[in-house]
Amino acid sequence: MASHSHIPQLGLGTFGRTGDAGIAAIETALDIGYRHLDTAQSYDTERTVGEAFRRSGLARDAVFITTKVADTNLAAADFMPSVRRSLDTIGVDQVDLLLIHWPVPEDVVAFESYMQALKQAQDDGHARLIGVSNFTIEHLERAAKLLGQGALATNQVEIHPWLQVPILRDYARSAGLQLTAYQPLVKGQVAEDEVLKAIAATLGTTPAAVALAFLMAEGHIVIPASSSRGNLENNFRATAVSLSGEQMDAIRGRNRGYRHINPAKSPRWDD
C-alpha cells in the first residue's frame, strides 16, 4: 500500500469539488504535482477524488488519500459500514488517513466508542493512519489515554495567519502531534493582508504562497483548495518559498483569533 510514512505537507482540500468540474480540478492538481488529497464523507467529493486519481494514471502508493467519518456516522452501528462505503465510493482498499471529522458534543455518542472504532478501522486495514479533526486539547488527552500516545497522526483544525492557535499549537508540539491546517487561506481572504502582500512583493510570489509557506515553516500540514490552475500552481509553489526569521515574526504578528468555521456543534476551542 501507500509508502508514505508521513503525511505530505502540502495537500489539496476538495470541499466543493463535485461533479465533472470537481474531477477536472483534482486532476489538474495531480498533474501539477499534488500528491495528497483530502476528502470527507460529508463533502460529497469521495467519488470525484477516486475518479480523478484513477484518471491520473498514478500508482496507488503515489497519492496520499484522507477521508473523514462524519459526526452522523459515529454511532457503533454506523461507523464501520460508513467507512466501507467510503472505500467503495473512492474505489480503494484502504485510505492513507482516516479522521473523525468532529467530536460529538456532550458525548451524545460515547467518545470511547467512536475512538475505539477508529482504531479498529486501522486494525482491520481500512486505514493506514488515523487521526482527528476539530479536537481540543481535552479531546486529544482523552484520546491519548485511550489509544496511547502517538496513535493519532494528526489533528486537522482551522489554522491560517489570522488564527494561529498558539495554545493548541504548543500543546501539539509538546505531544509530538502534527496539526493539519484547513482553510489556510480563509477562502482567499488572506490575499488582502497587507503584511502578506508586502512579503510576497519582496519575494516575487503571491500572498497565498507566503501564507502557506509560513504555516509549513511552523510545522503544519496545509490543504488549500482551488479550482483554477493558476491558483493551484501558485499554492503548490509555496513549497519553494523560504521566509526569513523577520518575515516569520511579522506574520506571527497577524494572529487575531479570527475563526471562519464555527458551527453550533463546535467544541469549546482552546484558542
- Radius of gyration of the CA atoms of the chain, in A: 18
Q: Residue 126, annotated ligand binder?
A: no
**264 within some domain:** no
Measured distance CA(177)–CA(169) in Å, rounded: 9
- Number of domains the chain contains: 1
Structural domain containing residue 128:
12-186+220-226
Average pLDDT for runs of 10 along the chain of length 271:
69 96 98 98 98 98 98 98 98 98 96 98 98 98 96 98 98 97 96 98 98 98 96 96 98 97 97 97
List residues bridging with 129 in a β-sheet: 97
**CATH number of the domain to which 119 belongs:** 3.20.20.100
**168 within some domain:** yes
> Within 10 Å of residue 169's Cβ, how many Cβ atoms?
18
* Catalytic position from the list 43, 114, 171, 182: 43
Tell me which amino acid residue 143 is: A
Tell me which amino acid residue 267 is: P
Q: What backbone phi and psi angles, to 5 degrees, belong to 178?
A: -85, 140
**152 within some domain:** yes
What pLDDT is recorded for position 228? 95
171 is a catalytic site residue: no
**119 within some domain:** yes
- Contact between 25 and 56 (Cβ < 8 Å): no
| C-alpha cell read off for 198 | 508586502
**195 within some domain:** no
The dihedral through the CA atoms of 155, 157, 159, 162 has a sign that is negative
**134 within some domain:** yes
**Where is 134: in which H helix or E strand?**
none
**46 within some domain:** yes
**203 within some domain:** no
What pLDDT is recorded for position 5? 57
